[in-house]
Amino acid sequence: MTKKILILTGGGDAPGLNAVIRGVCKRARREGVSGTKEEWEVYGSIEAFNGVLSNPQEIVKLTSKRTAGIHVKGGTILKTTNKGNPIQFPVPQPDGTVRFTDRSDELVKKLKELNFDAIINIGGDGSQKISKTLFDKGMPMIGVPKTIDNDLSATDLTFGFQTAVQIATDSFDKLVTTAESHHRTMIMEVMGRDAGWIALHTAIAGGAEICLIPEIPYDINKLVRKIDNRYKKGRGFVNIVVAEGAKPKQGTITASAGEKGSEHVRLGGVAYQLSRQLKEAGCQAEIRETVLGHVQRGGTPIAFDRVLASLFGVKAFELALEKNFGRMVALKNNAITSVSLEDATKEYNTLQQDSYLVQAAKGLGITFGD
């Protein structure tokens, strides 16, 4: 009998999603080739679980024609949403507000009717919490970790992260030449939510003088001193990388309310706040701000992420084959392995102040403002 697998992508997109989808499909197709093994068909739910919950349902068969060559493409051919959590499903009300309702039992009923032998949920922390809930309700769930923020503790790396760092570094390099020409101080804001991984990797790769991350609140006066020192001998210039979730020692993050029904508050704008704070604290330098934003999530994944995502896809299918459900694939100590969904969602992965990465960055002369 032919077996059926469902794949979906949830939360913010990340370069490499399509490579995971293709990896699952290609590995699944190999099962039927000898004629002695069971055949597998792979399906995709459009916009995470919304494709299953909607009426009519939006579920597509992932044929080889649909998935050929997609590992090179950014985004996700299955589309995604961060307003489709079945456990807290946003329902717009006539008065313009949004009410959240638990649709997980309805989802489980629909999934049972569809009779999939395995469900592969590609997503970040929020998505894997959903995987865990559905697994606890008897669904054959397998998770694949995804986020450019690299903030999942159960895997050494998430795909999409290295591409985001590459994009940020390329942008940083461009800002350095113009900073030097105009002897300006450039502030470049990068993504990462509550984790400073993208910021710190970019700062090291680009050679920043200052890197501000959520894990180390900054003292504005220390930053002013560092900048002033760089200008002391004449035409100085400074390049700063600031993570969107960075905050001053006495202050809060720069956030605005998320869209109605969205899972998160919206971060962004700390570059402008920092620029203001520097001026108010007496910084004499001419400052310009750049907010990179979603550019970091777009476009083609770099080779590293294509490889990692492809391996994750193959491993996810192999877990399905072994009926090893309730697990999330992971990269640990340079090996592709898996962890329980319970462990996968326990801890958030932020930068430790005493980590070698932070200490080495200090050794390179990078100031955190602590």
CB of 299 to ligand F6P, least distance (A): 14
Q: Of 13, 149, 151, 305, which one is the catalytic site residue? A: 149
CB of 121 to ligand F6P, least distance (A): 16
CB of 65 to ligand F6P, least distance (A): 30
DSSP-H helix ranges across 34-124: 50-53, 64-67, 104-114
Work out whether 158 is an interface residue with ligand F6P (CB under 6 A): no
Q: How far apart are the first and last CA of the chain?
A: 62
Work out whether 12 is an interface residue with ligand F6P (CB under 6 A): yes
Interacting residue with ligand F6P among 85, 147, 275, 310 (CB under 6 A): 147
Interacting residue with ligand F6P among 187, 188, 267, 366 (CB under 6 A): 267
Q: How far is CA 368 from CA 169, 194, 244, 295, in A?
A: 18, 16, 14, 25
Chain centroid offset of residue 187 CA: 22
Residue 61 φ/ψ, nearest 5 degrees: -80, 130
Task: State both tokens at 228.
Answer: 């002033």
Say how far apart CA 370 and CA 366 lie, in whole Å.
Answer: 11
Which CB sits closer to ligand F6P, 187 or 267? 267
Residues 105, 52 contacting (CB under 8 angstroms): no
Judge whether 149 counts as a catalytic residue.
yes
Work out whether 78 is an interface residue with ligand F6P (CB under 6 A): no
| Secondary structure (DSSP) of 226-291 | HHHHHHTTSS--EEEEEETT--BSSS---EEPPPTT-SSPEE--HHHHHHHHHHHTT--S-EEEEE
Binders of ligand F6P among 170-209, rule CB under 6 A? 191-193
Q: Which residue is nearest to ligand F6P (CB)?
A: 191
CB of 113 to ligand F6P, least distance (A): 31
Interacting residue with ligand F6P among 82, 158, 163, 338 (CB under 6 A): 82
Interacting residue with ligand F6P among 149, 189, 209, 305 (CB under 6 A): 149
Q: Work out whether strand 141-145 and strand 327-332 pair parallel, antiparallel, or are unpaired.
A: parallel
Interacting residue with ligand F6P among 297, 306, 315, 327 (CB under 6 A): 297
Kindly list the catalytic residues. Answer: 149
The residues of the shown chain that bind ligand F6P, judged by CB under 6 A, are 12, 82, 147-149, 191-193, 244, 267, 297
